[in-house]
Structure 1
Amino acid sequence: MSIDTTRGRRGRLDQEAVLRAAEVLVDRDGYDALTMTSLAAELDARVSSLYNHVANLEDLRALIQVRAMRMLGEHVRAAAMGHAGAEGLRALSHALRSFARSHPQRYAALTRPPIDREAFFSAALDAIEALAVMVRSAGLPEDRLIQTGLAVFAALHGFVSLEVAGYFGDLSGTSGEVDLDQVYAEVIDGAVTAASLETSH
């Protein structure tokens, strides 16, 4: 089913419409499946008309990464507000997982090597600052913030990326019925403990 077929050949496309349609395709088919041809079909437009709004496929994918990163940043910043230290890290961790589960394909896109590094890291400031505030409020010295923040994110991302990729499959029938929520809680505890150990050092 195409998106808003009154657009496209009638000349009503703009960049926002193109990007929203591209995000629908990414959500449905995956980041790697996105092509200018599939996007034109989704918009009931000519491929050539899309180039009035994005330079090429690489530019389109870069914009999707940036928008996904900005969206994640807003999500984790809102979740972290009013929290600090270990409690804040846990709130941020659950927000990261929630975003990835709600938007698995966009999460996969934003964790790829950034195409437009400057725009991507500018969009990442909310997420970076939210994590830094939580780690800083745990008492970590400034010269350890980046390294510890990366370690925390790597631990969380390891679980979340495996989960949204379907790696864990259906574990409900395994011995003891594995509780993935509890597994993630243990991952968070490990990340929080690591940050606390860095603080004590």
Structure 2
Amino acid sequence: MSPRAGLTPDRIARAAAELADEIGFDNLTLSIVARTFGVKDPSLYTHVRNLHDLRVRVALLAGAELNERIGFAVAGRSGKAALFAFADAYRAYALEHPGRYCATQMRMDPAEVADEPALLRGIELTAALLRGYDLDDDAATDAGRLLRSTFHGFATLESAGGFAHARPPATSWHHILEALHLTLSRWPSTIEEETR
């Protein structure tokens, strides 16, 4: 079989995702991906427009994987059980697939990816989780930002070896989730907007 046989956008994106986990998403180049298939860079341009296009494809692939894992974990759960399942699935994916996870944080042009199932599914999963806490739309937006910031910050620091204290990160993680559950359960009904 010739080295070019079987090249497709999906195969290229999956190879790039594997490379991202090995070498880091920021180090991903078309040349490195081309070498894994034994082809020259121009051979990829039939399937991906440029490096940005490739990175977007990796980000969407990783987002779909992350959402699938979270969706499976939270199925049939609500409230605290759903929060813990969601959070544990999120953290595990970030630690197991650091390059892919980094890709999910990539800023993308909303017009370019507005109808992508992976992005819509992520929003649906978060909204479903927060419905268990009976939050109105504004509170759910704020709570979603709190959860994303907490999950992302913890997983990123842990992945980078940022927790040097002897206390195991997993122990802190589950105490943090308990605190988040209490916060979501007692979310303030109104917060006066401060004006300067």
Residue 200 of structure 1 and its aligned partner are, at CA, apart by: 6.0
Q: Which residue does 1:66 correspond to in 2? A: 60
Shift of 1:119: 2.0
Deviation, structure 1 residue 186 = 1.8
For 1:3, the equivalent position in structure 2 comes to none
* 1:65–1:109 Cα contact (<8 Å) kept: yes
In structure 1, what is the equivalent of residue 170 of structure 2? 181
- 1:155 corresponds to 2:144: no
C-alpha RMSD of the superposition: 2.0
Q: How far off its partner does 1:143 sit?
A: 3.5
* Alpha-carbon contact 1:76-1:127 (below 8 Å) kept: no
For residue 7 of structure 1, report the CA deviation from its aligned partner: 4.7
Whether the 8 Å CA contact 1:58–1:115 is kept in 2: the answer is no
CA contact (8 A) 2:48 2:54 kept: yes
Q: TM-score, normalised by structure 2?
A: 0.87
How far off its partner does 1:8 sit?
Answer: 3.0
Cα–Cα, structure 1 residues 23 and 114, in superposed 2: closer, same or farther, change >3 Å?
same
Number of aligned residues: 189
User: How far off its partner does 1:125 sit?
Assistant: 2.2
- Give the distance between the partners of 2:180 and 2:76, measured in 1 at CA: 20
Identity of aligned residues (%): 31
Q: CA deviation at 1:28?
A: 0.9
Q: 1:197 aligns with which of 173, 186, 191?
A: 186
Structure 1 gap segments, 5+ residues each: 1-5
- Tell me which residue corresponds to 1:22: 16
**Structure 2 vs 1, CA of residues 24 and 96 (structure 1 numbering), >3 Å: closer, same or farther?**
same
Deviation beyond 6 Å, 4+ runs, structure 1 = none
The Cα shift of 1:166 comes to 2.2
